[in-house]
Structure 1
Amino acid sequence: MLSSFLKHQPGPVRLPHIIRLSALAVGLLGLLPGCSKDDEPTTPTVTNPDRISVPQAAVHPEGVQWDEANKRFIVSSRTKGFISTVKDDSTFAQLADNANLISTIGVNLDAGRNRVLVAVSDMGANTARSTAATLRKRAGLAIFNNTTGALINYVDLGSLPGTTTYPNAANYPNHFANDIAVDKDGNAYVTDGSAPIIYKVDPQGVGSVFFTSPQFDPGTGFGLNGLVYHPDGYLIVAKANTGTLFKVPIATPASFTTITNAAGLSLTGADGLLLTDPQTLLLVSGSQSTVYRLNSTDSWANVRSTGTFATGATSPATITKRGNDAYVLYPYTATSPRFKIVKVSF
């Protein structure tokens, strides 16, 4: 953008000395980089700000979680791999890093166990860490201590037994660990966007293929994406390329059902999910630049839309709850000079 310049009128200047100096200062500020009228302030003046604009270049975060105890957001990085924190005043700090973190996607804060769980993949966005062996093959779960950032465990999901023996496995040799949900017992569930798999990692760090189904096949697009754990003992899982929602019981995953979209609403591009209460689900559609508020009154057999939030010219990714509010992540592109975390309003 072009900077704004002061316009000077012809004729003698008769302003007092102090006013002349003030005008000069304003003019000089208009010439400084990053001070154009289109830049957003990085330090909000209120708590729970409407938006936090983070001046960090090329981070491209995909996952976001609110950490109430420490009053900060936790974000991933598709291009750098490390895990970082963001305060309301835009302060950005690295929390954790590890050589296994090629691209970090979904993030889950298991606050009761003081753990940060991170889905790890490799689609080539992090050129510093991507290799021929990991490109489009990496699916991992990294678990860190939320206080110290120390690595607790790393589980290579893509090489688990069962990842090559399910029906149609030969058609989906690639892997992409996408999003994470944690149940009441501390078991983590991870979706694979490139293969029709939901993984499970128990509290001791033992991984397994939790469930796979031909209905989860990604086809030529991007398959399983966001998921959440419902306190009644099941997962709600989104499939991005079709916008389908599945209800998958923890105890009997083979009895999963497709949630009927009563309104016939298109949910293609479904990404992050957030359960704000047992009957209300927020769904982020990146391709539609929209956050949908969905409601069910029959234990998620059917769903209807009760509101939308348009994000504008961006592709929102994931969403997190902060008190009574929800905040959605705008990652922008891999080369963007900043990213934003924005309060959702219906």
Structure 2
Amino acid sequence: MRSASSLLLRLSLGGTLLLSAAACDKDNDTDNDDPAQVTFTQAGLYPEGTQYDDDNDRFLVSSQTAGRIGQVADDGTYRQFADDERLVSTIGLKLDQASGRNRLLAAVSDPGYNTTRTTNDTRRKLAAVAIFDVTSGTRTGYVNLGSLRPAAAAHFANDIAVDDAGNAYVTDSFAPIIYKIDLQGVATVFLENAALAAPAGAFGLNGIVYHPGGYLIVAKSDEGALIKVPLANPSSFTKVTTTGLTLTGDDGLQLTDNNTLLVACNAQGQVYRLSSTDNFASVTQTGSFATGAVYPTTLARRDGQSYVLYSYLNALQQMQNPPVEKFSLTRVAF
């Protein structure tokens, strides 16, 4: 359900958009109607990405094995939201409903887990984004990002952020690239740098968020690092100082206000709350939430609260048989 605490108000201050303090104050409020955990049963689904669709009271979830995008109600009912033969494996999701943009963007890759759709041409080589109308589930666009760098050894579109103008930024975990897709669907390489590469077979660039101060924050999983990328000059990217922190396996990122970042670290079974007082030149840890060995991948925002996805992708990677049947979205409590 939609509550006033779910609205993020933006104020203009010196030309920079900031999340209002009123929205930040609501972050500790809990809507009594919101469940502590939503569990759904879909044997072998292995979702990696999620978003909460406030207008339609549902979580949206991806799938590495089926490709389709599903919707989950609070009672655990799972239904298909969208499917398409091009959805080999869906990874990160980004709901974009600002300025009348009623769309869901889904990162599409092929790690080889969807046995009915994987091919030799796409396995570990696919990086794409599929775009859907949120109301109907109709696919309205498909952008092949890997075609911008066909000579790269491997591709894996992982996560998506959207800026205020509607430009989408997409991380490639197997190539040191962040792509940009404008509202017309034109894709370009926004940033490419060998310093962002990961060892072969390892996941590098991963979760990504847009900060209204005019930059991106990106997780680099192989290093447990955070990268700050200015939109105006992406080549001037810097590492966020994380002295004393261990962010190994950092994956999904979520800004809860201008100075607070949540980081899901799947290898550790933790969600960390990080705070910054210097515009994310550096961060300090101000909280942690232990998930256990459920391979938390990313977070959804609902009524001023954060829900972390228990993906169990470790079981998929180990080819566990029988596969995991139940998956959960759990409210994070620090």
Q: Does structure 1 residue 74 correspond to structure 2 residue 54?
A: no
Q: Is the 8 A contact 1:121 1:178 kept in 2?
A: yes
Give the TM-score normalised by structure 2: 0.86
The correspondence for 1:107, drawn from 80, 93, 106, is 93
Please tell me whether residue 188 in structure 1 is matched to residue 176 in structure 2.
Answer: no
Aligned partner (choices 242, 248, 252) of residue 272 of structure 1: 252
Task: Give the letter for the 2:205 counterpart.
Answer: L
Q: Name the counterpart of 2:239.
A: 258
| Higher mean displacement: 145-154 or 214-223 | 214-223
Cα deviation, residue 214, structure 1? 1.6
Which has the larger Rg?
A: 1
Offset of 1:70 from its aligned partner? 0.7
How far residue 215 of structure 1 moved from its aligned partner, in angstroms, is 1.6
Q: Shift of residue 51 of structure 1?
A: 0.8
Q: Give the counterpart letter for 1:328 in structure 2.
A: V
- Alignment partners' CA distance in 1, 2:219 and 2:192: 14
Secondary structure of the corresponding residue to residue 292 of structure 1 = strand
Q: Structure 1 CA distance, aligned partners of 2:206 and 2:170?
A: 9
Matched, 1:137 2:125: yes
* Cα distance per residue 1:3-46 (max 9 Å; x no partner): xxxxxxxxxxxxxxxxxxxxxxxxxxxxxxxxxxxxxxxxxxx7
Q: CA deviation at 1:78?
A: 0.5
Q: 1:311 aligns with which of 291, 306, 323?
A: 291
Specify the code of the residue in structure 2 equivalent to 1:127: T
Q: Deviations over 1:58-96 (max 9, x none)?
A: 110000101111111111000000011111111111111
SS at match of 1:260: coil
Equivalent position of 1:56 in the other structure: 42
How well do the aligned residues superpose, as a CA RMSD in angstroms? 1.1
The letter of the residue matching 1:48 is D
CA distance in 1, matches of 2:177, 2:198: 10
Other-structure match for 1:155: 143
- Indicate conservation of the 8 Å contact 1:293/1:307, yes or no: yes
Q: In structure 2, which of residues 116, 121, 142 is the aligned counterpart of residue 128 of structure 1? A: 116
Question: Distance between the aligned counterparts of 1:83 and 1:222, measured in 2?
Answer: 23
- Larger strand share, 1 or 2: 2
Q: Is the 8 A contact 1:121 1:139 kept in 2?
A: yes
Greater RCO (Cα-Cα under 8 Å, separation 6 or more): 2
Deviation track 1:274-317 (CA, whole Å, cap 9, x = no partner) reads 00000000000000000000000000001110010000121111
- Of residues 74, 82, 96, the one that matches 1:96 is 82
In structure 1, what is the equivalent of residue 327 of structure 2? 339
Q: 2:288 aligned with 1:302, yes or no?
A: no
Structure 1 residue 254: Cα displacement: 1.0
Q: TM-score, normalised by structure 1?
A: 0.83
SS at the partner of 1:261? coil
Equivalent residue for 1:167? none
Counterpart position of 1:35: none
Which residue of 2 is the match for residue 209 of structure 1?
Answer: 189
What is the Cα deviation at residue 47 of structure 1? 2.4
1:141 deviation in Å?
A: 0.3
Q: Give, in angstroms, the shift of residue 227 of structure 1.
A: 0.5
Task: Kindly tell me the number of residue pairs found equivalent between the two proteins.
Answer: 292
| Secondary structure of the corresponding residue to residue 254 of structure 1 | helix
Give the partner amino acid of 1:67: D
Q: Residue in 2 aligned with 1:116?
A: 104
Letter in 2 for 1:184: D
One-letter amino acid of the counterpart of residue 329, structure 1: L
Letter in 2 for 1:88: D
Q: Of residues 205, 208, 211 in structure 2, which corresponds to 1:224?
A: 205
1:243 corresponds to which residue? 224
Q: Distance in 2 between matches of 1:206 and 1:98?
A: 21
* Shift in Å, 1:261: 0.7
Q: Decide whether the 8 Å contact of 1:47 with 1:88 is kept in 2.
A: no
Runs of 4+ in structure 1 over 6 Å off: none
Distance 1:245 1:312 in 2: 23
* Separation of aligned partners in 2, 1:199 and 1:306: 32
Query: Letter of the aligned partner of 1:151 in structure 2?
Result: R
